[in-house]
Structure 1
Amino acid sequence: MVIPLHELQMYRNFDELARDVLDLAKEILPDKLIYLSSFTDSEQVILKLSNINPNIHVSEGTAIKLNRTVCNRIDFEKNQPLVFEDTSKEASLDDLRSLYEKVNINAYVGIPISLKNGERFGTLCVVHDQATHFDKKSISMLQKIAKMFSYYLTLENLAYKDSLTGLYNRQYLFNFFADFSKLGGVLFFLDLDGFKKVNDVYGHDAGDQVLKEVSARIQQFIKDQEEAFAVRLGGDEFIIIFPHMSSREEIGKRAEHLLNRLNTWKPECQLSASMGIVPYPANGNISLDTILKNADGALYNAKAAGKNNYEIF
């Protein structure tokens, strides 16, 4: 899992704290270019630079294929920095040689930044246009700075997550609409058919396991959908947001595929899902409260029609 860029944009004081991190690192290595990066599933994105260095061709907002960056070789599990004091002499960088010559990086330090749950965030990187010796004390100090930054990221991340399932929570959903509703898109509102019986017959621990499994199936379903995300609204109610408008035909296909993922269980666990679906326009004035009310009405109609079904508002 990685932190999407639209989530980072909601973090309180992220820009200010990122700048403070770079300023602290700059005190340790004042003559180097230092930057913070984050990872998506496929790219490394340069978030903030300590300064502009005309000799090194790296800029904020640059996205690099993750398999084409040396940061992807950092050992995040062991939380170990990666150091190349002279990239021109590193045989292990032969496949990246042309890239680093193009941006004029000849020395590199990559410090891993992870959340406390082990999720990779990205890196704190130091680069220079000449071969450079990096002393152990400087690297140790950079690791401490990265560790403090990871604590901040963890706290912000937890504020937007449901503690049981790991999906986003209601607060994240409302903040997203406050900042990004102008994009337009489609909201799926679903709940589980037969979930109350699971709790009544097998107990709440079994019910919690079902909710975790449903969440995992939803996450698997949306992982290849650009910028889509899922929310646990409460109980057995879930929201999925697909930013950008989809055709009615595409909405129907996605709904059917999702229902198929959620109606296959062990014989003793008779579960399915019903959904209310609401497309909302880009740059519209419709509020999230109204969208949710409309979705709830469509969900009611889907259940009334026999459950394991969907209704588009």
Structure 2
Amino acid sequence: MAISANELQMYTNFEELANDILQMANEFMQDKLIFLSAMTDTHQIILKVLDNNSGSRITEGLALELTGTVCKRIDFDNRVPLIYEDMSKEPCLDDVRGALQEANINSYVGVPIILHNGQVFGTLCAVHPSAAVFDTKSVQMFQRISKMFSYYLDLERMAFRDALTGLYNRQYLFKYFTDLSNHGSIFFVDLDGFKKVNDVHGHDVGDFVLKEVSLRVDKYMATHNGFAVRLGGDEFILHFHEVSDPERLATYAVEVISRLSTWDLHMEEFSLSASIGIVTYSPKDRNNLKVLLKNADNALYKAKALGKKTFQFF
């Protein structure tokens, strides 16, 4: 559940702190181009750049395919810095040689930025067109700066994430709608049979189910231009950005219900599925999220009344 660009924009003083991080790093890499990046499953996004007229060509907002980046080679699991003092002499970089030449980079140091839960956020890096020696003290300071930045990210993330599942929370949803400028739709999802999970198998199994549901919906939304929210208990919101066509939404609902109704992890003693209430919205509804949620909940109630494991539009 990676931090999205939209989430970063909600963080207090993110721009100011990111600039401060680069200025601190610059104390130890004064002639280098220094950049802060975030990583998704497929891309590396350059968030902030501080360049001392190094001659390297990396710009803010640049999105690079992860497979073609040097940062991809960092040992994130062991949080070990990656250092290349003369990249022209590294045969292992032949597959990215063209990209390095285009960016005018021949020396590199990159340290990982890892969140408290072990999730990879991105990197703090310094590069230069010429070969360079990176002394141990400078690299160690780079590591400390990246760790400080990860502490800040963790604190901000806690405000917008559900503690149990890692999904976005109610606060994020309401903040998102405050800045809304387009149309879309909301799925109000409730699990059928979840109470029995807790009653028969206990809350530990119930928490496991909630985490598994969260992983499934988060993975689904990652490929459907939206995000998932846990409102509380076994209630979830799926938000689809700029999707309001009923036919398309009906297809999505069937797919979501299918993903949440298949359980083979020793769940034979009870049936677990999902019901969905659907509501669409326009930009004029940005201050009416409470009304939208109420309408979606009403549609969900109708879906439950029809026998569950189905969906209804408001």
Query: TM-score, with normalisation over the residues of structure 2?
Result: 0.94
Deviations 1:190-239, CA, capped at 9 Å, x for gaps:
1112222333333333322222222222223323223x211110111111
Question: Pairwise mapping of residues 178-189 of structure 1 onto structure 2 (< 5 A)?
Answer: 178-179=178-179, 181-189=180-188
Question: Pairwise mapping of residues 248-267 of structure 1 onto structure 2 (< 5 A)?
Answer: 248-265=246-263, 266-267=267-268
Give the equivalent residue in structure 2 for 1:269.
Answer: 270
Give the equivalent residue in structure 2 for 1:229.
Answer: 227
Q: How far is the alpha carbon of 1:283 from its aligned partner? A: 5.8
Give the equivalent residue in structure 2 for 1:293.
Answer: 294
CA distance in 2, matches of 1:53, 1:287: 49
Q: Establish whether residue 302 from structure 1 lines up as the match of residue 300 from structure 2.
A: no
Question: Pairwise mapping of residues 167-246 of structure 1 onto structure 2 (< 5 A)?
Answer: 167-179=167-179, 181-226=180-225, 228-246=226-244
CA distance in 1, matches of 2:118, 2:134: 27
Question: Pairwise mapping of residues 1-313 of structure 1 onto structure 2 (< 5 A)?
Answer: 1-51=1-51, 53=53, 55-179=55-179, 181-226=180-225, 228-265=226-263, 266-282=267-283, 284-285=285-286, 287-313=288-314
Conserved 8 A contact 2:32-2:52: no
Residue identity opposite 1:231 in structure 2: V
CA distance in 2, matches of 1:204, 1:84: 50
Residue identity opposite 2:160 in structure 1: Y
Conserved 8 A contact 1:74-1:81: yes
Deviations 1:93-145, CA, capped at 9 Å, x for gaps:
11111111111111111111110111111111101121111111111111111
CA distance in 1, matches of 2:285, 2:227: 20
Deviations 1:80-103, CA, capped at 9 Å, x for gaps:
111111111111111111111111
Deviations 1:12-44, CA, capped at 9 Å, x for gaps:
111111011000011112111111011122111
Conserved 8 A contact 1:112-1:122: yes
Q: How far is the alpha carbon of 1:2 from its aligned partner? A: 2.2
Q: Find the residue that maps to 1:222 and give its secondary structure.
A: helix
CA RMSD of aligned residues (A): 1.6
CA distance in 2, matches of 1:12, 1:216: 27
Unaligned segments of structure 1, at least 5 residues: none
Deviations 1:34-77, CA, capped at 9 Å, x for gaps:
11011122111111111363722211111111111100000001
Conserved 8 A contact 2:183-2:243: yes
Conserved 8 A contact 1:277-1:298: yes
Deviations 1:165-211, CA, capped at 9 Å, x for gaps:
221111111112122x2132111101112222333333333322222
Q: Find the residue that maps to 2:162 and give its secondary structure.
A: coil
Q: Find the residue that maps to 2:15 and give its secondary structure.
A: helix
CA distance in 1, matches of 2:119, 2:284: 34
Conserved 8 A contact 1:280-1:286: no
Conserved 8 A contact 2:182-2:242: yes
CA distance in 2, matches of 1:128, 1:54: 6
The alpha-carbon distance between structure 1 residues 79 and 285, as it changes in their structure 2 partners (threshold 3 A), is: closer
CA distance in 1, matches of 2:242, 2:100: 36
CA distance in 1, matches of 2:286, 2:116: 39
Conserved 8 A contact 1:83-1:108: yes
Dislocated runs of 4+, deviation >6 Å: none
Aligned length: 311
Identical counterparts, % of pairs = 55
Unaligned segments of structure 2, at least 5 residues: none
Conserved 8 A contact 2:178-2:287: no
Conserved 8 A contact 1:32-1:128: yes
Residue identity opposite 2:262 in structure 1: T
Q: Which deviates further from its counterpart, 201-210 or 285-294?
A: 201-210
